[in-house]
Amino acid sequence: MFIVDAHQNIAFNAQQLGRDYARWAWQLRESEGESTAPPAMTSLPDNLMSGIGIVYGSMSVIPESFPGRESWHKLTYRSGDDAKLLAMGQMDYYRRLADEEDQIRLILTRSDLEAVIASWQDGAPLSGRVQGIVALMEGAEPLTEPRQFEEWMELGVRVVAPACLPTRYCAAAGFEGELTTLGYELLNVLSDYGILLDVSDMSERACQQAIERYPGGIIASHANPRYFYDSPRSLPDQTIRALAERDGVIGIMVYNRYLRRDWHHSDPNRRVSLDHWVDAVDYVCQLTGSAAHAGLGSDIDGGYAYSSFPEEVDTSADLWQLGDYLGKRGFANDDVEAILGGNHLRKLKEALPEG
């Protein structure tokens, strides 16, 4: 068994902060010294050490006018062409990683997926294991128009989230609005290519519309139940049920804010453990009636302070403990395997083209 993490911001952090994914997170922290940027939390060696065999590597871009822009967000866009250029740079980073690192493979087809899975068979040495990267476009603003997605498909994008922040295609969480006319056209195009649709960060209304309208596979790569924190980014019960009815999978984040409603950034200690992550997983399982719709979407490198993670987590190398915590809570071995990887693998196998 290996872990599938449906959300890490690898290329974004490489572009904004110059981080080299091939170096240990502790090495990146040392090289950056005192910095206003969030600490490095993930890397290829950290992920491999934790048994993370597949990562959904996101590509996201930030508008210059975004009020939540951080001081370390140095590359932003003013126009759709700018957004496309930035996203192309991130996609190129994933392609170069796959070319330069023997232990990375960009997952484009089912054959790629099977090759990654084979490298993790029992008894395979760590040095021979390969991490698969699934390219996820987080926010569709880099698409100049829906039909232009064919170009991104050829480059390697296999998952699309129409919203991260508000786009021409979709209202984002925390904003009023729904899918636009262009957004509906985009759904039709994505369906033609069999792309996985990621409804994370969509407005509640847009999310409902997408679940009702999109005929292909649907996931929420990184989203937690609203029961634990009342945020527009969190999923209400009716959305979780609707995703389950479509055989969707929800990647649960390890960010404290979405795991414990009374947590605050100013807390003198973390006050959150991986047991709280299991609480969120268990909530989804109880609400949907099975373990088939919960997964991991850590967002561990999403720009959060070091103190914003459960007390057991220093880097992604510590995420291997999730299996132990699920087991201690009484989850059967088959359910643990489904939650930590099998559920996301099911959706990938359905969506990827033959090859």
The full set of domain ranges for the chain reads 3-351
Compute how many other C-beta atoms are within 10 angstroms of the C-beta atom of residue 344. Answer: 26
Q: What is the pLDDT of residues 306-322, one digit of tens each?
A: 889 999 999 999 999 99
Confidence of residue 94 (pLDDT cuts 50, 70, 90): very high
Percent pLDDT > 70 in the chain is 99
Task: Give the Å distances, CA to CA, from 267 to 150, 259, 264, 348.
Answer: 47, 14, 6, 39
Q: What is the CATH class of 3-351?
A: alpha beta
pLDDT surpassing 80 at residue 167: yes
Residue with tokens 């759904």: 187
> Which among 154, 38, 145 is positioned nearest to 91, based on CA atoms?
154
Position 196 confidence tier, pLDDT thresholds 50, 70, 90: very high
pLDDT band at 102 (very low <50, low <70, confident <90, very high): very high
Residue 257 pLDDT level (bands cut at 50, 70, 90): very high
pLDDT-based confidence at residue 125 (cuts at 50, 70, 90) = confident
Average pLDDT of the residues of the chain:
96
Which tens digit of pLDDT belongs to each residue from 44-69? 999 999 999 999 999 999 999 888 88
Is the pTM value of this prediction over 0.85?
Answer: yes
The per-residue pLDDT for 269 is 66
pLDDT at 173: 95
**Are the C-beta atoms of residues 201 and 166 closer than 8 Å to each other?**
no
